[in-house]
Amino acid sequence: ILTYFNMKFYTHVHYVSGYMHMQLACYTGPTIGGLLNATFGNATEMIISIYALKNGMIRVVQQSLLGSILSNMLLVLGCAFFAGGLAHPNRDQVFNKASAVVNSGLLLMAVLGLMFPAVLHFTHSEAHYGKSEVSLSRFSSCIMLVAYASYLFFQLKSQRSLYSPIGEEEESTEDEEDEKEIAQGEAISWLFVLTIWISILSGYLVDAIQGASESLNMPLAFISVILLPIVGNAAEHASAIMFAMKNKLDITLGVAIGSSTQISMFVIPFCVVIGWMMGEEMDLNFQLFETATLFITVLVVAFMLQEGTSNYFKGFMLILCYLIVAASFFVHVDPKSSMYF
């Protein structure tokens, strides 16, 4: 019961956070607005991951971060495309194709970083069993952090024109002032407060995972990969849908795909490095089933984004794909989960 009310309150706080994200985006524009949305949303993920790492719950960290990526790419983006398509039924919505392609490339690079440690482990081809996998993960994590830093420079400084919004300038400029209901500094202050509050609530949710799994008779993997990220991504979910309905697809992609890119290329490698400092052997071996799921998901989403347009049918297809992924984790048994409780 306590877990239920915690999740309910957690969701309401995320909804307020989503509103603050939308207000902040009115001042910053689509590129920086989407990046700030993703960063404030993922700040919670980082805090939770560090908290779980300190308690030796490495598998929970891996599964919750993977779940956030899957949720953002399939459920959040799917619902946003679906809602935006219903709000604008007579035409396809347009977004910056070049930006989407760059993000797809980064996500594929993240899959590359996760795939080799998993394959190395399951083919028993490590030069030093149990050590080569961790060493490779730490080296790859450093490379991924450099790649993400380069991406930020590319996005914000070097090629800013590449990220110019497509299609919505004419219809959004007139309404921009009307949408500003609070000051920029006030929105930022509220986001800091809400992020701290969400982090505190998230700590209780992490502690309740084991008990919830036993009482609900659900696999730990399903709760960690599916249920927790749905609650944790409530802010991104609300923001992405609101922006899509206002025909601001570039911000929607910045929230959903940008968040997935940030988790895969920054948060996960950062957790590996932090675990290294803590003496915890956090690695990029997310196991074969999870890595394969991520790989297929990235391919599906990249295919959906290649035209630079969206509609309600594409959104519906992404939602259905997420249901298949959720069902797969419901019947998936992860023998490593019990090692961290």
pLDDT tens column, 191-233:
777 667 766 766 666 666 666 666 777 787 888 888 878 877 7
Going by pLDDT thresholds of 50, 70 and 90, the confidence category of residue 337 is low
Closest CA to 202 of 1, 73, 9, 71: 9
Going by pLDDT thresholds of 50, 70 and 90, the confidence category of residue 112 is very high
The Cα 9–Cα 2 span in angstroms is: 11
Backbone region of residue 154 per phi and psi (left: phi > 0; alpha: psi in -120 to 50; beta: other values): alpha
Task: Tell me what the pLDDT averaged over the chain comes to.
Answer: 80
Compare 196 and 7 and report the one with higher pLDDT: 196
Residues 6+ apart with CB under 8 A from 173: none
Residues 6+ apart with CB under 8 A from 41: 17, 21, 233, 235, 236, 255, 259
Question: What is the sign, positive or negative, of the torsion defined by CA atoms of 94, 82, 198, 211?
Answer: negative
Q: Mean per-residue pLDDT for 59-82?
A: 93
DSSP summary character for residue 126: -
- Residue 252 in contact with residue 240, Cβ under 8 Å? yes
Predicted local confidence at residue 28, as pLDDT: 60
Residue 84 has pLDDT above 70, yes or no: yes
- Which range scores top for mean pLDDT: 9-23, 112-126, 132-146, 178-192? 132-146
Compare 160 and 276 and report the one with higher pLDDT: 276
Beta bridge partners of 94: 309
Residue 5 has pLDDT above 90, yes or no: no
Residue 127 has pLDDT above 60, yes or no: yes
Q: SS3 letters for 257-325?
A: HHHHHHHHHHHHHHHHHHHHHHCCCCCCCCCHHHHHHHHHHHHHHHHHHCCCEECHHHHHHHHHHHHHH
Predicted local confidence at residue 283, as pLDDT: 92
Closest CA to 93 of 272, 305, 278: 305
Q: Mean per-residue pLDDT for 309-331?
A: 95
Going by pLDDT thresholds of 50, 70 and 90, the confidence category of residue 36 is low
Percent of the chain, pLDDT > 90?
Answer: 37
Q: Mean per-residue pLDDT for 120-140?
A: 84
How far, CA to CA in Å, does 293 sit from each of 57, 115, 225, 276, 296? 22, 11, 11, 26, 5
Residue 315 has pLDDT above 70, yes or no: yes
Predicted local confidence at residue 173, as pLDDT: 47
pLDDT tens by residue, 253-307: 988 898 899 999 999 999 999 999 988 889 999 999 999 999 999 999 999 999 8
Compare 16 and 227 and report the one with higher pLDDT: 227
Q: Mean per-residue pLDDT for 33-43?
A: 68
- Both tokens of residue 64? 């919750």
- Which range scores top for mean pLDDT: 25-39, 127-141, 222-236? 127-141
**Burial call 211-245: b when 16+ CB within 10 Å, e when fewer:** ebbeeeeebbbbbbbbbbbbbbbbbbbbbbbbbbb
Which amino acid appears at position 295 of this protein? F
- Both tokens of residue 101? 């392609």
Structural domains in the chain plus CATH codes = 2-340 (1.20.1420.30)
- Residue 282 in contact with residue 64, Cβ under 8 Å? no
Neighbours of 76 (CB within 10 A): 31
